[in-house]
Amino acid sequence: MNQAPIIVIGAGIAGWTTVREFRKLDAHAPVVLVTADSGDFYAKPTLSNAYAQKRAPYQLVTTPAAKMAETLQVTLLPHARVESFDTAAHSIVVRQDDALQTLTYRQLVLATGAHPIRVPLLGNAADQVRSVNSLDDFAAFHAALGVDATIAASGASKTVLIMGAGLIGCEFANDLVQAGVRVHVADPAPRPLAALLPADAGEQLQTALSELGVQWHFGTSVTALDSSPSGGLLATLADGSTVVADLVLSAIGLRAYTALALSAGLACERGVVVNTHLQTSTPDVFALGDCAQYDSAGQRTLPYVMPVMTAARALAASLAGTPTEVVFPLMPVSIKTPALPLLVAAVHPATQGQWEPEGSEGAWRFMDLSSMQRGFVLAGKSTARRMEMTKLTHA
């Protein structure tokens, strides 16, 4: 009898890493990977720091899809979309090249990622707001900005308005301003990375990027986007001020993609709910990556690379026949802002306590109500204290 395959939906880091880890344990079980894009393998975090390095979109691909499929012995269905899946029948319906086919699965893995949060805007150019959440998005943004945006047709640098001063917004701001682009950033918060950093650290980052030329608009947000009479786009902010820009980039966050899971009756909250074995509310259906809400992480989504790698290894073992719980160690996140390098061990949002400066300049720790260190932030040269601070922190 032909064995039904493991089917993985999504060819990002979560999908491909799960397959790679599975192949280390089982070289023969059939695997099918379905993806809406080409399936080329690239590191998504490189999208926010590639422009200043003058790296073209194709240069971010580390392994072409065909090579990935050949090496890992995967049946790859690129440029295909899963229309629905039936958990009782263990089947999915896939649309590819305007044709539908039904595939049965032994186990199904949802690695569908997250999509950019978009806020409604007024104005006749509201549909021209861009997001960069994939290689295709970056290619479009790269083409619109131009290979060298420092000299526009008018003889002046091009201008980009970034909506959002969170992690991705700050990384893009640093990258673009380093490339000679004029950068404006608008955010309702009082400073950059307000949800992640203590106030002092956020102010240091604000100053460092300001010195490079980033112009901040805090305590406000973009409400309308219109075509500018002089060319480009005219953004109106909630405080009544305006910014004229060549491009507007939305970086206000990501929301786990749950539509497919919801349509199949799976439990979803902030993401697809999974237990410690990464199993969803339905047997033989698993989820990981940006689309998942992890029980092992206190019912949180973890949109970072290291949690994906950790989850993929555990899931691969389970798929290969050894049920394995995922255990997330403390995983500090490096923020790619060369103006002020940052390392953040984020605190669970429900943890009560406060930030305190720690030792040398550029170090803060989050102390809970029982005086236990639960997280930390390191800036500049203090990022060298990563191992020391990690040992002192209780996840």
Q: What is the mean pLDDT of residues 40-44?
A: 96
% of residues, the chain, pLDDT over 90: 89
Q: What is the mean pLDDT of residues 171-184?
A: 97
In angstroms, the CA 94 to CA 40 distance is 19
Residue 155 — very low, low, confident or very high, per pLDDT cuts 50/70/90? low
Give the three-class secondary structure for 296.
helix
What pLDDT does residue 182 have?
A: 97
Q: What is the mean pLDDT of residues 200-207?
A: 97
Say if residue 1's pLDDT is above 50: no
Compute the radius of gyration of the chain from its Cα atoms.
Answer: 22
For the chain, domains (ranges, CATH) are 6-115+254-319 (3.50.50.60), 118-250 (3.50.50.60), 341-392 (3.30.390.120)
Give the three-class secondary structure for 265.
coil
Distances (CA, A) of 389 to 193, 289, 356, 373, 381: 21, 26, 13, 9, 14
* pLDDT tens for each residue of 48-59: 999 999 999 999
Residue 230 — very low, low, confident or very high, per pLDDT cuts 50/70/90? confident
Closest CA to 361 of 376, 341, 343, 381: 381
Are 197 and 183 in contact by the 8 Å Cβ rule? The answer is: no
Say if residue 151's pLDDT is above 60: no
What pLDDT does residue 247 have?
A: 97
For residue 144, the tally of other CB atoms under 10 A from its CB is: 14
Q: What is the mean pLDDT of residues 370-391?
A: 95
Say if residue 264's pLDDT is above 60: yes
Region for 344 from its dihedrals, namely left if φ exceeds 0, alpha if ψ lies in -120 to 50, beta otherwise: beta
What pLDDT does residue 296 have?
A: 80
Q: How does the average pLDDT of the chain come out, rounded? A: 94
Burial call 154-165: b when 16+ CB within 10 Å, e when fewer: eeebbbbbbbbb
* pLDDT tens for each residue of 274-327: 999 999 999 999 999 999 999 987 888 998 999 999 999 999 999 999 999 999
Closest CA to 12 of 48, 56, 61: 61
Are 171 and 49 in contact by the 8 Å Cβ rule? The answer is: yes
What pLDDT does residue 172 have?
A: 98
What pLDDT does residue 148 have?
A: 67
Q: What is the mean pLDDT of residues 341-363?
A: 91
